[in-house]
Structures are given as structure tokens and as C-alpha cells.
Amino acid sequence: MPPKISIISVTLNAKATIAHAIHSVLEQSLPPWEHIVIDGGSTDGSLEILQGFKHIKLDSGPDQGLYDALNKGIARASGEIIGILHSDDVFANPHVLSVVAQAFEANPSAQVVYGDLVYVKDSKIVRYYKSGPFDPKLFFYGRVPAHPTLFVKKEIYDHFGGYKIDYKIAGDYEWIVRVMLLGKIKWVYLPQVLVKMGVGGISTRGLKSLWRANQENLRACQENGIKVSWAHMLLRYPYKIWGLLRAKLGLKSTSKNTHGNSC
């Protein structure tokens, strides 16, 4: 039998997009074991939309931000594998969960499976984010696994812990540093787009968010004993620019699946 996959979605006043995210889960050829939605107390009508989907496990109430809500969802999840689908994101196609499950089945020692991501605005791809095989030597040059595409065995969260809730933007970056860069876990990279991410989320809201993200990235490294400077943070931008050019030129990944076992 395929592994049981729990999908976690966190939402707060996402009336315009949350139904699209939920439908992209419903359209999967391999249904998830469960879809948990943690709502932060929406007041824009999101809650009424969510209550119309009887299959989801809904938890609505105050929280301490995105990463606190994600931790709540992880704690509630009963599946072997946890995937995160944000309220303004959708799975790239109906076979994402099937492909991910097959990757875990084909690689029993894998603890994380991840892939590529595209940023979408008004149904148009504006940036192609190629995660690439995880390589610590390329980490500070922007080759970081796209967090929305990560499917993680729950035992990894149990062992390493969840997200630090005092981060506002880069809690996922800190988790990747702590778990993938330093944790020596086993991973599989799927060179295909798994998630379409809506532009305008908390990490894509202009220069102020960009500045804060870099501050938190720097802090994440320092807290985990990695000596870096602002210069290291700037090394990521040529790779980001390449992602924008890939989208403009319509380039796609053509490499084969990649497997790895340590970071």
C-alpha cells in the first residue's frame, strides 16, 4: 500500500484562494490520508468556505503566526508523511501525491522527497525555482530546496522538532538549515514542478519582506553555528535571477530523478 500522506494547509483571510488549494488536493489521483486546515480565525468568509468541505479536518482559532499554525497541523497529523500546501498555492498537476508516494516506496530509506516550484501571477509563470539535488556547497548560492514542495516523514519532525515560532518569514529556511544542512537526513529530489505558488505571500511582498527575510536567514545560520555574513546572503540572488529568466524563456528541467542520503 502507498504511504499515508497528510496535507496541512494554513489559512488566514484567504477567501480568494483557499478553495483552489483544496480543490487541487481533491483532484489528486492518489487521495491524501487526510487534509488538515489550520485557520487563524478568518473574518473574510474563508471559514464559511472551509466549513463547506466536509472531508477536511478543520481547526480554527487564534495562533502565534504561520509557523505556530504549521506546528499545530504537524502535531495533529496521523499520516506517515507530511506535505504542506499553503492557502494561495496549488499542486502542479493531479499526480503529484502519486509521484511522491512512488518515490518513497522506491527509496525506503528516504526521509524527505522534494521537487521544483513555479511562482504564478494571474495564471502566468513569473519564476521557475529549480531546487536541484541538495548540495551543502551550493546552499549559500541559492540552491535551497523549495520548502512548499517538501514531503517529510513525520518521524523527522518528531526527532528534529518543528518550526521556530519567533520567525516571521524564514522559519522554513531555519528548519532546512537545522534539518537538511546539519541533520544528515536522506532525501530524494524529483526534477519536476510539484507546486504552483501564488505571488504575494508573506515571503514575496516587496523590499521590506526581502530585507526581513535576509535578516532572519542570517540569524538562522548563526543560531545553528554557521558563520555567515550579509555577503553570503547576497550570493543567492544570481540564482534567483536565473529562475526569473527560466520562466521568461520557458525553460524546464530535463534531468533524471536524483537520490541522496546526506547533507
Model confidence band, residue 8 (pLDDT cutoffs 50, 70, 90): very high
Q: How far apart are the C-alpha atoms of 197 and 207, rounded to whole Å?
A: 19
How far, in Å, are 6, 60, 111, 158 from residue 155 at the CA level?
A: 13, 25, 8, 5
Strand partners, 60: 39
How far, in Å, are 16, 38, 197, 203, 247 from residue 124 at the CA level?
A: 17, 28, 11, 19, 9
Domain count, the chain: 1
Q: Tell me which residue has cell 514542478.
A: 193
Q: Name the nearest CA neighbour of 196 among 113, 107, 117.
A: 117
Q: 165-218 pLDDT, tens per residue?
A: 999 999 999 999 999 999 989 999 999 999 999 986 544 445 566 667 878 888
Model confidence band, residue 263 (pLDDT cutoffs 50, 70, 90): very low
Q: Name the nearest CA neighbour of 259 among 127, 136, 108.
A: 108
User: Cell for 258?
Assistant: 536524483
Residue 19 has pLDDT above 90, yes or no: yes
Q: 114-166 pLDDT, tens per residue?
A: 999 999 998 899 989 999 999 988 887 778 999 999 999 999 999 999 999 99
41: domain CATH number is 3.90.550.10
Alpha helices by DSSP H, listed for 59-206, are 66-76, 96-106, 154-160, 171-176
Distance between start and end Cα atoms, the chain: 29
Q: Would you state the torsion angle of the CA atoms of residues 235, 203, 53, 162, taken in this order, to the nearest 10 degrees? A: 70
What is the domain extent for residue 37? Answer: 5-260
pTM of the model: 0.86
Q: How far apart are the C-alpha atoms of 223 and 161, rounded to whole Å?
A: 15
Residue 245 has pLDDT above 60, yes or no: no
Q: How far apart are the C-alpha atoms of 229 and 80, rounded to whole Å?
A: 37
Q: How far apart are the C-alpha atoms of 40 and 18, rounded to whole Å?
A: 13
Q: Name the nearest CA neighbour of 45 among 15, 87, 88.
A: 15
Contacts 24+ apart (CB under 8 A), 95-100: 95/28, 95/29, 95/30, 96/28, 96/194, 96/195, 97/5, 97/28, 97/29, 97/30, 97/31, 97/32, 98/2, 98/28, 98/29, 98/30, 99/190, 99/192, 99/194, 100/5, 100/151, 100/190, 100/194
The whole-number pLDDT of residue 87 equals: 95
User: Cell for 178?
Assistant: 537545522
Q: How far apart are the C-alpha atoms of 87 and 126, rounded to whole Å?
A: 19
Q: 220-239 pLDDT, tens per residue?
A: 989 999 887 655 555 555 44
Hey, is 108 helix, strand or coil? coil
Residue 241 has pLDDT above 90, yes or no: no
Residue 250 has pLDDT above 70, yes or no: no
